[in-house]
Chains A and B, each alone.
Chain A
């Protein structure tokens, strides 16, 4: 098991390198310039512009720029934002909390919707309940997240005025306010996850419920609850975990959109601003962090498999 984890971690390095190189090249190919973005339409002046470009090494060949950045990163220095001059590491640390909060609550909501409904739909297969739920899932998967987010703001924040339209309060500073501000964004994010997961849960459960050992358990006279929760669900969890892991990664991507719609100061919004302003150090730093997050999630999923189903082992 340990060997497996170490192998996985080592495999991260070429992955990270490749990702950062691709993002770096993509950003460099897009027209625009971070110094011009920083100075803006009211500050750009030839002498100052050229001085900044020289200081930041922006006129050097691309591979030299990339390796200079890489050299600093391996020493633990993510550099400074070209636009705000803040330390990238500090910026990411500050914004990570908001994104984590969003992704976590979206995931939690998604699971809370998906698992019970999926299980019941499988058990009550082909009933009205099952039919309604499956159709709603299709609709839910098709709804674009930003549209859903804006609709929720229009209804709950502007029309009914039950909830604030935008903004963020951290979990640690004011719990109640935090819930109020997080509700709409997490619902928007979680609904999508919920619908996908729900269908996956239903089909995984159906698959397991048709197996011989379930029939044996029924013949043995075990209660329905015990059969569902102890025997069926545990075995159905493997594909559910797989899909969950994939979906969390899509949640992180979805967070970019949600953070912009709901004005949440997270990593997603920081990445979008960095792209607009051609802020390479920030962009590269974010890519690194997100790539590492994705790997961590996959690793966790792998470990959970082994726990849930002891028959799965790693050579």
Chain B
């Protein structure tokens, strides 16, 4: 080699070395940023702990269900867009007539007590839910089930009486979805609620009733992490009951709690400013006022319309939702199939309201109505605004806070008049959402207004059978038009619900229906 060649090859090798080194460094940096760090304990703060950890019996909202997700898995799952994906069932086939579902179950999965997960276990669970002696509150969601057959250890056939488009959603959520160890059901009997035994990422370590639930890592969990080792990454999850919102926020800011179930609207701005914290979008709440359509004067549609026009939704949303509220025509919003923003909204119109009251025969007369609510924040503020607004059309509104069971009792028994409530939106299937408020109580709905419209019941029945999104959309639009016209509920506004967490908490999976899962959560440095 000449001297010049030697020099240039030296330079070349230096360049090559630097190039390789930078690449290795870069790869390490990138993988370090995305490789989850194992270990640590996550403390969750929520207003109240679940009353039972038996998922077949729990009827509460997202924060209760999310505690169940620590201990249990379902046959299938919903991703955040509402699409189904495998979980304990690796695959499934639905017959052409939609009356038969065959599940192919995952092998080598064990419950926390060491017993095997298989088709017999799933059948045992479904039979338990369908058994009238169990009195499972949500059993009507499985009305379509006819029989469940074990084909072999890992194949299960479910036969339906009729096609039911919600059934796969039920297997993904509640009640039939979460699989409990049959051995545990036999062993604990009535005490099963205190002793959760599932296939989930965490196992129960300790439950100090009323104070906290400690869940420890399940070393035999079937899901594999990004590092090819079993999930979960966390060692422990501790769920604490913190009834006071201010204490909850304070503890999140201090870092003694790393995830909270709800940020009150008035605190959202402060949390957003803090770089150590982050807000997590979840569901929206549809805030509404139920009008007892079977009691005078609310049984007169003109009066209901007058009330709707006299209530200034925009103003109420501004005053009580701190920028997180927006007005919609009815229960549906942009996340629900069949939402149509062009549907009529009862925009504030005092003159029209007064005109309608006159037409109904109440001109110059004073009406007395009672407006009740079971939660004070922000329902009391809403009630006071409604009280002021309705006084302008000759309705004297008396407002009253009631304990939840008393409130439910008076609305369902027909003694109540106006009641403020809310509901999470969306649900996995539009039928599940709409039937909640518009299906009569006798048919399974939580219909505070006592509203019964045979055409709506017909359309809801068709909606439950419709698996095609276009048909669903069309049916939802039809139902929406009828219920807006009938006006059994005043559609106040939708409010964004926000969860809160420390910024370094990664890997949280948010459920479509508002809950949260920590099976792949981890703490970044």
Asked whether B250 lies within 8 Å of A83 as measured between CB atoms, the reply is: no
**Is B251 in the interface zone, CB < 8 Å from A?**
yes
Complex Cα distance, B208 from A86, in Å, reads 13
A270: chain B residues within 8 A (beta carbon): 210
**Is A100 in the interface zone, CB < 8 Å from B?**
no
**Is B403 in the interface zone, CB < 8 Å from A?**
yes
Asked whether A95 lies within 8 Å of B209 as measured between CB atoms, the reply is: yes
Q: How many residues of B contact A (CB 8 A)?
A: 46
25 pairs, CB–CB < 8 Å, chain A vs chain B: A31-B402, A32-B403, A32-B409, A33-B408, A33-B409, A39-B59, A39-B137, A42-B59, A42-B61, A44-B446, A47-B140, A48-B135, A52-B135, A55-B135, A83-B51, A84-B193, A85-B190, A94-B209, A165-B247, A263-B243, A263-B244, A263-B247, A265-B210, A269-B210, A273-B210
**Is A80 in the interface zone, CB < 8 Å from B?**
yes
* CB nearest neighbor in A for B140: A45
Q: Which of B51, B136, B211, B374 is in CB contact (< 8 Å) with A265?
A: B211
Asked whether A43 lies within 8 Å of B406 as measured between CB atoms, the reply is: no
**Is A280 in the interface zone, CB < 8 Å from B?**
no
Q: Which of A38, A51, A94 is in CB contact (< 8 Å) with B51?
A: A38
**Is A123 in the interface zone, CB < 8 Å from B?**
no
Asked whether A36 lies within 8 Å of B408 as measured between CB atoms, the reply is: yes
Q: 8 Å CB contacts to A: which residues of B123-172?
A: 132, 135-140
Asked whether A40 lies within 8 Å of B190 as measured between CB atoms, the reply is: no
Q: Which of B209, B412, B446 is in CB contact (< 8 Å) with A42?
A: B446
Asked whether A276 lies within 8 Å of B446 as measured between CB atoms, the reply is: no
B403: chain A residues within 8 A (beta carbon): 31-32, 276
Q: What is the CB-to-nearest-CB distance from A306 to chain B, in angstroms, rounded to a whole number?
A: 40
A158: chain B residues within 8 A (beta carbon): 250
Asked whether B243 lies within 8 Å of A40 as measured between CB atoms, the reply is: no
B136: chain A residues within 8 A (beta carbon): 48
Asked whether A166 lies within 8 Å of B242 as measured between CB atoms, the reply is: yes
Complex Cα distance, B190 from A164, in Å, reads 36
Given contacts A166-B242, A263-B241, A263-B242, contact A51 B408 (CB under 8 A): no
**Is B404 in the interface zone, CB < 8 Å from A?**
yes
Asked whether A95 lies within 8 Å of B210 as measured between CB atoms, the reply is: yes
A253-272 near B? 1/0 per residue, CB < 8 Å = 00000001001110001100
Given contacts A86-B209, A263-B211, contact A44 B406 (CB under 8 A): no
A57: chain B residues within 8 A (beta carbon): none
Q: Which of B57, B135, B254, B410 is in CB contact (< 8 Å) with A161?
A: B254
* 6 extra A-B contacts, CB within 8 A, seeds A42-B59, A46-B442, A85-B52: A36-B409, A48-B135, A84-B52, A94-B209, A158-B250, A265-B211
Asked whether A36 lies within 8 Å of B405 as measured between CB atoms, the reply is: yes
Q: Which of A33, A161, A263, A273 is in CB contact (< 8 Å) with B405?
A: A33
**Is B297 in the interface zone, CB < 8 Å from A?**
no
Q: What is the CB-to-nearest-CB distance from A223 to chain B, in angstroms, rounded to a whole number?
A: 51
**Is B502 in the interface zone, CB < 8 Å from A?**
no
Q: What is the CB-to-nearest-CB distance from A78 to chain B, in angstroms, rounded to a whole number?
A: 14
Asked whether A32 lies within 8 Å of B446 as measured between CB atoms, the reply is: no
Q: Which of A86, A94, A264 is in CB contact (< 8 Å) with B193?
A: A86
Asked whether B242 lies within 8 Å of A31 as measured between CB atoms, the reply is: no
Given contacts A263-B241, A265-B210, contact A31 B409 (CB under 8 A): yes
A38: chain B residues within 8 A (beta carbon): 51, 59
Asked whether B137 lies within 8 Å of A48 as measured between CB atoms, the reply is: yes
B138: chain A residues within 8 A (beta carbon): 43, 45
B139: chain A residues within 8 A (beta carbon): 48
B484-525 near A? 1/0 per residue, CB < 8 Å = 000000000000000000000000000000000000000000
* CB nearest neighbor in B for A158: B250
B334: chain A residues within 8 A (beta carbon): none
Asked whether B137 lies within 8 Å of A168 as measured between CB atoms, the reply is: no
Asked whether B210 lies within 8 Å of A44 as measured between CB atoms, the reply is: no
Q: What is the CB-to-nearest-CB distance from B177 to chain A, in angstroms, rounded to a whole number?
A: 16
* CB nearest neighbor in B for A260: B243
**Is B280 in the interface zone, CB < 8 Å from A?**
no
Asked whether A167 lies within 8 Å of B211 as measured between CB atoms, the reply is: yes
